[in-house]
Amino acid sequence: MKRLNVLMLVLAVFILLLTACSSSKEDSTSKEGEAPKDKVTIHGTNGDVTLNKPAKKVVVLEWTYAEDLLAVGVQPVGMADIKEYHNYVNIDAELSKDVVDVGGRQEPNLEAIAALEPDLIIGVSFRHDAMLKDLESIAPTVIFNPYPNDESIDLYQEMITTFNEIAKAVDKTSEADAVLAHLDKKYEEAKAEIDHANLKTKDVILTLAYTGPQAPEIRVFTPNSMASIILEKIGLHNIHKPDQFEVFGSSTFNVEGLTKYEKANYLYTVPDTDNIYENQLKDNTVWKNLNFVKEDRMYDLGADTWLYGGPLSAETLLNQITKTMVSK
């Protein structure tokens, strides 16, 4: 009997040891097979880019992506074309003076980028696809395309998607949610103001004008553009219907092409250094006889209103539109 008990005890100990070893092996396999909790994957036009942990040192090669970082409280370590960024982008979030300029957006300085030892580089497809391998040799690189060829994707939707991907890359998704919730609230407030304004019509076209090679050119924003969708969100109606899909979100007209839109309100931004309205069109007969000119339904949004960018630029634009149209 004692011998049987001893055998049973030995068997029990053996089973316990076998179970423990098996469990330990399973745990080890699980830990090795699973991705660490702080690993993050960002989806760009160049596919999925996986980082071992959220990025702390980010170099951005396009202004919009710098703005996206600033919106969630993150300063890039490096950025392309900082001087021109300040000339065009008008947002409340300040870019730190410590951010290093890494050259032009079209041809950034690879040595300057490498010297910063970034965790992540963010580029834009139409500028940086050709140098992707060079950038990847420095650090993981994600590329975004703000102008997709897919007609079903509007440019506002693309802006939101990219903003969320960048927020995920730096572990700021809750901050991004707060930014977008605030923006939605601003749309509601602006729409209420527009609804109560004494506007003759809510039909509009939104334009950016400049001197062309032969004559003044007016860029009229299409319904799929980010700027136009902001107009719609605050209760205005963009009546421009392009004859074809415009991948960059705008059609280009000369002054004669505006005659079919003269019943709408004319929203515009024009550079101070190239004001075609005060110069080339001042005495232009066609221009002076457009109804929105004769009836003073022109709304100057200011030379510093950026019609592109991310959620902070979107807020600047809706504020400028509301202020200009309500106060006139």
102: Cα within 13 Å, side-chain hemisphere: 31
Name the residue among 115, 114, 124, 159 with its Cα closest to residue 46.
124
Looking at residue 289, what is its pLDDT?
A: 95
| Total-model pTM | 0.85
Name the residue among 145, 143, 166, 157 with its Cα closest to residue 68.
166
Q: How far is 122 from 143, CA to CA, in rounded Å?
A: 6
| Cα torsion through 202, 208, 214, 215, rounded to 10 | 50
From residue 264, alpha-carbon distances to 75, 125, 153, 198, 202 in Å are: 41, 35, 26, 15, 8
Backbone phi and psi for residue 304, each to the nearest 5 degrees, phi listed first: -95, 15
Q: At which residue do the structure tokens 């660490």 appear? A: 36
Contacts by 46-52, CB closer than 8 A, 24 or more apart: 46/129, 46/132, 46/141, 46/142, 46/143, 49/120, 49/140, 49/141, 49/142, 50/140, 51/119, 51/120, 51/140, 51/169
Looking at residue 37, what is its pLDDT?
A: 60
Distance in Å from the first CA to the final CA of the chain: 105
Contacts by 294-300, CB closer than 8 A, 24 or more apart: 295/200, 297/200, 297/201, 297/264, 297/265, 297/266, 298/265, 298/266, 298/268, 299/265, 299/266, 299/267, 299/268, 299/324, 299/325, 299/328, 300/268, 300/269, 300/270, 300/324
Name the residue among 79, 48, 81 with its Cα closest to residue 65.
79
**H-helix or E-strand spanning residue 32:** helix 2-33
Per-10-residue mean pLDDT for the chain, 328 residues long?
A: 46 46 41 61 95 96 97 97 91 93 94 97 94 96 94 93 98 97 97 92 95 89 96 96 93 94 95 90 93 94 91 95 88
Which pair of tokens denotes residue 131? 């140098």
From residue 311, alpha-carbon distances to 86, 165, 175, 181, 315 in Å are: 17, 13, 12, 11, 6
